[in-house]
Structure 1
Amino acid sequence: MGITGVLLIICGAGLSWAAEATASGRMGINSLVGIRVGYVTVSEPAWRAGHRAARPLTHAAAGVFAALGIFALVFCGAESTSGAAIISGSLLVLGLILAAAVKANRAARAVVLAASPHGRA
């Protein structure tokens, strides 16, 4: 479980970095990093608004990844215990990321509708 713990910590750090880079506008619309659902990819302002709205949930998911990694490193010899915790924690990360995507889409939709001449997308 040692390598798993290290990889989970790296995933958490990478996810946290991506949340900041996309929310701040340092990383614009692209095909590799970020939330790409519905209204989020319509424009750069929608992209930034969506990622700013999703930032807290994305950081929470990154924190769960890091905590799981530390847990896996501490309980390295207890594969059954750490394995169950990692699976449960990964499901929590999935839920947080899905919630972040919904929140991002709603925020981006508001930006797109505000920019539309008739208030419709």
Structure 2
Amino acid sequence: MDDAPLAIRIILAAILIVGGIIMVWIASAAASGRIGRNSSAGIRIPETLASDAAWSAGHVRARALSVTGGVLTIIGGIACLFPLGSTGLGCVVLAVVVAVLIVMMMAARVARVAARAADTERPS
């Protein structure tokens, strides 16, 4: 087996681990209210951006899925440190990207439903 160069494995691992940690922090911060509506971080879809109540409700409901996406990213980063060949390393990265994309799409859907419900419950 031809191992992927150590430097490449370390760089990929660092990117994924740091990215996963940031994802977990953002998910927790947005759900707890430390991050309010903004144009940079969180689940920024029209439904969650409609109001503060929608933002909060969407992030509270999607927190578990969002944290799961971050944890999957961290696990993928750790897996990059294993002595894999270039093909194996590529497969790990691809699998992480696909898994996280699916989980985050699910989080956005949950957030959309919760945000819409929160906006319909608001008094006019």
- With normalisation by structure 2, the TM-score equals 0.89
1:23 aligned partner, one-letter code: A
Aligned with 2:105 (options 98, 104, 119): 98
Q: Over aligned residue pairs, what C-alpha RMSD do you find?
A: 1.1
Q: Using the TM superposition, give the Cα deviation of residue 39 of structure 1 relative to its aligned residue in structure 2, in angstroms.
A: 1.5
Q: Secondary structure at the match of 1:27?
A: coil
- Given the alignment of the two structures, is residue 9 of structure 1 paired with residue 29 of structure 2, yes or no? no
Indicate the residue corresponding to 1:65 in structure 2: 73
Q: Figure out how many residues of one structure are paired with residues of the other and give that number.
A: 116
Deviation at 1:41, TM superposition (A): 0.7
Query: Which amino acid letter does the alignment assign opposite residue 17 of structure 1?
Result: W
> In 2, are the aligned partners of 1:57 and 1:96 still within 8 Å (CA)?
yes
Superimposed CA distance per residue, residues 61-81 of structure 1 (whole angstroms, 9 cap, x where no aligned partner):
101100000000123x52211
- Equivalent of residue 121 in structure 2, options 102, 114, 117: 114
Q: CA deviation at 1:89?
A: 1.6
Aligned equivalents of 2:15 and 2:92: distance in 1? 15
What is the Cα deviation at residue 38 of structure 1?
2.5
SS in 1 for 2:41: coil
Matched, 1:30 2:38: yes
Unpaired segments ≥5 residues, structure 2: 1-8
What amino acid maps onto 1:62 in structure 2?
G
Aligned-pair CA distance for 1:116: 4.6
When normalised by structure 1's length, the TM-score is 0.91
Alpha-carbon deviations, 1:9-37, whole Å to 9, x = none? 00000000000111111110011001111
Deviation >2 Å, runs of 4+: none
1:39 and 1:98 map into 2 onto residues whose CA distance is 14
Q: Which string of whole-angstrom CA distances, capped at 9 and with x for unpartnered residues, describes residues 70-104 of structure 1?
A: 000123x5221121121012101001111100100
SS of 1:74's equivalent in the other structure is coil
- What percent of counterpart residues are identical? 34
